[in-house]
Amino acid sequence: MRGVMRSLVALTLSVLALGSAHAQEPSDPPPPPQDVVLGSAEARLEIIEYGSYACPHCGHFHENNWHMINSEFVETGQVRFIFRPIVTPPEQMAAAGAFLSYCVGDERYYDAVDLLFMEQPNIIEGMRNREDVLGIYARIAGALGRTQDEMLACFNDEANNTRLMSNLYQASLDGVRGTPSFLFNGVLLSSQQVDGEYIFIYGEEPLIINGDRVPAEFTEDSFRRIILHFLTESDSD
């Protein structure tokens, strides 16, 4: 597994370099992201999540919010959702998750997202203890109908690296500085400390709901409130 992980690090070096390449406006940028879209094309609100399989905050967000987002808003046709993975340290873990999710095909992509975040604590613990975590990835792949050999082939597929490069390049264009970050109908929702309090920033201004600045909390109630706010705004446009 160490050899596999070293090869993942080598593959993602170009991805990480691209994160700062936006300032130089590369003459040959990667293609646009190849997103897997969940939900109706007619949905009033599109949410794009930039997340990393190596990011514990992303794992907590998924655990606390994904069922609510999917059942209350995606399956009811109100929201179109995209999970767009990018790379954060440890890079090999982030890349392995992204490549595995691409390996299973669009029809099982969000099943892979779910399983990878469910297993995230076990992978982090295994890496911390210098254990062989290949078995965890193989177990996820097997649950999604892929053999270990197929999974390893995905880890070494240059097309998957290009796909990840596209995500990170687009993230730099979108102003993403950390994970998880979100675009609501193409506008970045981020967090920032203002007057000693972390609040959500929508575009360049504090997000205001019912006259109040919104604390930067990723609880289920808080994120539901934000989604309902943007759905209401889309009704009034």
Binned at pLDDT 50, 70 and 90, residue 13 comes out as very low
Q: Which amino acid is at 16?
A: L
**pLDDT tens-place string over residues 171-204:** 999 999 999 999 999 999 998 898 889 999 999 9
Give the percent of the chain with pLDDT over 90: 77
% of the chain with per-residue pLDDT over 70: 88
CA distances in angstroms from 164 to 9, 119, 208, 229, 233, listed in the order given: 13, 21, 33, 31, 33
Assessment of whether the complete model's pTM goes beyond 0.85: yes
Please report the pLDDT score of residue 160 as a whole number. 92
Confidence class for position 147, pLDDT limits 50, 70, 90? very high
Whether the CB-CB separation of 30 and 14 falls below 8 Å is answered with no
pLDDT in tens, 24-46: 455 678 899 999 999 999 999 99
Which pLDDT band holds residue 233 (cuts at 50, 70, 90)?
confident
Task: For each of the domains in the chain, give its residue range(s) and CATH number, in order of start.
Answer: 2-11+35-236 (3.40.30.10)
The pLDDT value given to residue 236:
65
What distances in angstroms separate CA 121 from CA 30, 50, 57, 104, 125, one per listed residue?
A: 32, 19, 11, 22, 6
How far is it, in rounded angstroms, from Cα 42 to Cα 191? 29
What is the per-residue pLDDT across 87-140, written as a single tens digit (0 to 9) for each?
Answer: 999 998 999 999 999 999 999 999 999 999 999 999 999 999 988 899 999 999
**Predicted confidence (pLDDT) at residue 19 exceeds the cutoff of 60:** no
Residue with the two structure tokens 């613990």: 125
Q: Check residues 148 and 3 and name the one with the higher pLDDT.
A: 148
State the average pLDDT over residues 145-161. 92
Question: Under DSSP, is residue 212 helix (H, G, I), strand (E, B) or coil?
Answer: strand
